[in-house]
Structure 1
Amino acid sequence: MNDAEAKMRTRDVNVYYGDKQAIDSVTIDIPSQFVTAFIGPSGCGKSTFLRALNRMNDTIPSAKVEGTIELDGQDIYTSGMDVVQLRARVGMVFQKPNPFPKSIYDNIAYGPKIHGLAETKDSLDEIVEKSLTRAGLWNEVKDRLDESGTALSGGQQQRLCIARAIAVDPEVILMDEPCSALDPIATAKIEELIDDLTGRYAIVIVTHSMQQAARVSQRTAFFHLGKMVEYGPTEDIFTNPIEERTKDYITGRYG
């Protein structure tokens, strides 16, 4: 990956849930200025691996992560790593939109307040407006900022969650099948948004839709049975895969 600077690096990462190995020796460089897609059949480990990138697996008592995962050259699993700070730098957008049961404004303002990113109400207002604007939501909600985030449509809620992730000024945004609960129109808006954010953040998206991976990403990693089978420029993976298993998946022989 010499054409792109690595934002995150993993080396020989294994993830276990109890005795079951979910990820087997995954080594990958995640570039800073591209969207990287993780594709593969259900249960192949792509979401588990994604969650290891910001220590989300820490919340599962039986989970154990081995190997090295670095953000800007710093091992994120060292005991001195502030996990709250890490999750601000490596934000996460989940499969199902999960706005806080608070106002639209407070959904966005919550993170910047906790992390001390806004000294005054004015600067908080500015962060809220900027984040919602970047997430393509400002014009739709600017007159109802005090309404509950949960009152928005599914697609708007997902964009609110993306705006919430952006508000703390992250360096990486992880998206775990962010469109799987959305209709085609909302999905198109999220994909447009991912396009707009490309280059500003390192973005990693897990998707079960190969078409989506082809549309939004510049790099694609194919996972199967807990292993990363192949990783490269998206175009190559889809038009000229090296591995037989990748070819079989892309052409629909299994999945």
Structure 2
Amino acid sequence: MADIADSPLANQANKSLEHENVETGEPKMRARDVDVYYGQKKAIDSVDIDVYTEFVTAFIGPSGCGKSTFLRALNRMNDTIPSARVTGKIELDGEDIYASGMDVVQLRARVGMVFQKPNPFPKSIYDNIAYGPKIHGLADAKPDLDNIVEKSLRRAGLWDEVKDRLSDSGTALSGGQQQRLCIARAIAVDPEVILMDEPCSALDPIATAKIEELIDELRGRYGIVIVTHSMQQAARVSQRTAFFHLGNLVEYGHTSDIFTNPAEQRTQDYITGRYG
């Protein structure tokens, strides 16, 4: 497999090796034997994955392979699709998120989602951030909300760009700024995990670089899972990579191993461009 080991992808993946050797605790999220159905069609077949706060986890694979479907299962977004059904077990801090007593609204505050296309609310920049803390009862007084808004925008790397126009509409920002606003909005409710479904696919290279830098800065504070069509991006930002194909999890492990010495032939074929 020397053709992979010497590739630019492998070089990018190896740059994150120092992030892989930290001590890990229990997984923040644990998925075991997870199937997802749309009606009678099985879209995900018996997937096992652990998500750690210490690492960014990337889901890669061809279009239609199930990676976004599985991502949405991690905070029950598939519940909004009438034909969708999930079996198996997905735990957050050891608690089954599909248990009958689970508060789905609270779950989605704990496991936030950033979508492919930036989707700021048609509200001011300030109100985009303050909305979540208000409805979840995290802050009522204006000084508390001000603090949450500033802290969230700073963590998203956006504060210095918007601090003088917080009353402007969030939809007036550039695409890259809108996506960072959506990340700040997710952060504002103090989540434990952030799911990102191709967050850079609609962005230019400069905005993409800023989002990738932000992901690296947030790693360790939140569990982060990113779906990406870009293997280069997975190699740059993640420390764990899961390769999906036709609804199956083919391989999951250290990003450097996936891109330099994959255990499965299908993984090697995908990474070297033989299909996908």
Specify the TM-score bucket, using the shorter chain as the normaliser. over 0.9
Kindly indicate whether residue 162 of structure 2 is the aligned counterpart of residue 135 of structure 1: no
Which of these residues, 142, 159, 165, is aligned with residue 180 of structure 2? 159
Over the aligned positions, Cα root-mean-square deviation in angstroms equals 1.1
Match of 1:71 in 2: 92
Instruction: Please give the alpha-carbon distance, in whole angstroms, between the structure 1 residues aligned to 2:93 and 2:25.
Output: 13
Instruction: State TM-score, norm by structure 1.
Output: 0.98
Kindly indicate whether residue 253 of structure 2 is the aligned counterpart of residue 232 of structure 1: yes
Q: Which runs of 5+ in 2 are unaligned?
A: 1-19
Give matches, 1:168-207, under 5 Å: 168-207=189-228
The 8 Å contact of residues 24 and 54 in structure 2, kept in 1 or not, is answered as: no
Question: Relative to 1, partners in 2 of residues 1:10 and 1:17: Cα closer, same or farther, differing over 3 Å?
Answer: same
Q: How many residues are matched?
A: 255
Instruction: Please give the alpha-carbon distance, in whole angstroms, between the structure 1 residues aligned to 2:194 and 2:38.
Output: 24
Give matches, 1:1-20, under 5 Å: 3-20=24-41
**Aligned letter for 2:193?**
V
1:70-117 Cα offsets, whole Å, 9 max, x none, are: 000000001100000000000000000000000000000000001111
SS of residue paired to 2:28: strand
Question: Relative to 1, partners in 2 of residues 1:117 and 1:3: Cα closer, same or farther, differing over 3 Å?
Answer: closer
Instruction: Please give the alpha-carbon distance, in whole angstroms, between the structure 2 residues aligned to 1:134 and 1:169.
Output: 12
SS of residue paired to 1:77: coil
Offset of residue 33 of structure 1: 1.2
SS of residue paired to 1:220: strand
Q: Which runs of 5+ in 1 are unaligned?
A: none
The 8 Å contact of residues 57 and 224 in structure 2, kept in 1 or not, is answered as: yes
SS of residue paired to 1:64: strand
Instruction: Please give the alpha-carbon distance, in whole angstroms, between the structure 2 residues aligned to 1:112 and 1:119.
Output: 8
Instruction: State TM-score, norm by structure 2.
Output: 0.91
**Aligned letter for 2:264?**
E
Offset of residue 4 of structure 1: 4.7
Instruction: Please give the alpha-carbon distance, in whole angstroms, between the structure 1 residues aligned to 2:205 and 2:37.
Output: 35
Instruction: Please give the alpha-carbon distance, in whole angstroms, between the structure 1 residues aligned to 2:113 and 2:224.
Output: 10
1:150-200 Cα offsets, whole Å, 9 max, x none, are: 010000000000000000000000000000000000000000000100100
Which of these residues, 240, 243, 248, is aligned with residue 219 of structure 1? 240
Offset of residue 118 of structure 1: 1.1
Give matches, 1:239-254, under 5 Å: 239-254=260-275
Match of 1:52 in 2: 73
